[in-house]
Structure 1
């Protein structure tokens, strides 16, 4: 009896020792890939030569895919990889990698991937930036092969009849103007769908929201969890004659928002925001790494003077 118990105990100990070694082997492999990715990321962000940036990015993509093929890679945080935004869905169903490459003309191209939490073999959906060919992004629903590229910093899960995840992202744009995006990710037949007509504005429903403003300004776009509210600066031209030039727009010190009601996002105008943080797009830092501010949100009846 004692002999059998010792044999069983030894077998259990051997199994867990082998499992621990297996885990340590995976960890060592992922640490090696992480170091390579950090070096490549530093190159595609900081190298002054455009060709060098693009070559580093192509190598980065191949290295990232190899890293994610490592067993248990979904559990590896890559938290020291500062060149890439990595967002885990709150339900641990997936995570999104997104990043940008700057072009010499002041424009940007975006790259990304969605890694599903399979608990086993890698299931990865590449995000292919199709932005220049999407004529009406606010009305367009696409898949991952026609992505309206952005670097995401917040993910908001929404349950109900139309479950989805709202993504807040920075898009850069040109040497004159910047964009920010509110996009929607859902899954149909376990495949990603981008965009969903859940934003009810004054005139129509939109599948995503795109904000464009002058590069000399900064724009607040942030989720306030306690209010189920996405709040953003109201953008206006410096002169009414320039209303058709969104690259001149800037904040007018008033705020609007989209509030979640019955699975849809309803426009709420003229919000009174207190203690609004100052965000800068000039040097993009993932705001998703920062805790959300405690904001007091009250509707007001009188619009501030513009």
Structure 2
């Protein structure tokens, strides 16, 4: 494990100073060629029937991706043909977060990713994300740095800038878990002292459960859960999950949507829980992709 983390850290370490204003044509052509390679590698990472080969593809993807992102002003290249990696830009364009997964033969997952900052001079500044999910305890009430990450594949970035002293971003993510259950999460990302941190005590469920640092949902892998942001209401809306029988309370691998909706509404920089919301925005095609990674195989 330590050797693996060292390899990842060395691959992502970059300290190259570049001066300029924009991605030039030479750099763009190199990135187009590297994107083609990344497409082929990521296809094998998702579709290969042999687990070690899927991981070999992921390691090769890391090396190739780092080569691409080292190109000056690579942040300006969208990688929009690369579908097996989720690439989400912050709306304020301060960074983008790239995440992907490898599925294990037992139905569990390992997650990979990095945060690429949008530097004004084109210098590559990155925060590699190292998945420690299997060893992290009390995940809903802990703050982790990027090198001890509660892995997920993100599909939405929401900036929260009203609290000027401590701005942060909300990430919505899919987290395939086991052969029986899937997770989704509402995550917090913020930057401090040259590091990226995940988790912040800004979720208030009720007077007896204030200051949760992230929200984690777990439910039957065969089910689909809606979780998205309603910008017009400044709220995060999601399916209410429940067991098929009250006697099965706590068996989250059996939970599923019960056709009602709850949410968190942003008030003064904090997210207040609200039950029985009326759903005013429809599920999106992008959100549906993260219900089942098999849907991405032919992309």
- What is the CA–CA distance in structure 2 between the aligned matches of 1:139 and 1:88, rounded to whole Å? 26
Q: Which residue of 2 aligns with 1:193?
A: 197
Question: Is the counterpart of residue 181 in structure 1 residue 182 in structure 2?
Answer: no
What is the CA deviation profile of residues 132-172 of structure 1, one whole-angstrom value per residue up to 9, with x for unaligned ones?
11111110101001111000000000013331000000001
Give, in whole Å, the separation in 2 of the partners of 1:284 and 1:197.
34
User: How big is the shift at 1:284?
Assistant: 6.1
Unpaired stretches in structure 1, ≥5 consecutive residues? 1-18, 287-306
What is the TM-score normalised by the length of structure 2? 0.85
Matched, 1:32 2:42: no
Give the paired residue count. Answer: 267
Matches within 5 A, 1:205-216: 205-216=211-222
Partner of 1:233: 239
Give me the CA root mean square deviation: 1.8
- Which residue in 2 is equivalent to 1:85? 86
Given that 2:88 and 2:97 are in contact with CA atoms closer than 8 Å, whether structure 1 keeps it comes out as yes
- Bigger relative contact order, structure 1 or 2 (CA pairs below 8 A, ≥6 apart): 2
2:282 is the alignment partner of 1:282: no
Q: Secondary structure at the match of 1:146?
A: coil
Q: 2:152 aligns with which of 140, 150, 153?
A: 150
Maintained 8 Å contact 2:39/2:82: yes
Query: Structure 1 length as normaliser, TM-score?
Result: 0.84
Counterparts in 2 of 1:215 and 1:25: CA distance versus 1, 3 Å: same
CA spacing shift, 1:181–1:241, aligned 2, 3 Å: same
**Greater Rg over alpha carbons, structure:** 1
Select 1:261's aligned residue among 259, 264, 267.
267
- d(CA) in 2 for partners of 1:126, 1:229: 29
2:226 to 220, 225, 232: 220
SS of residue matched to 1:251: strand
Runs (4+) off by over 6 Å: none
Cα distance change, pair 160–275 in 1 and its aligned pair in 2 (3 A): closer
Secondary structure of the equivalent of 1:227?
coil
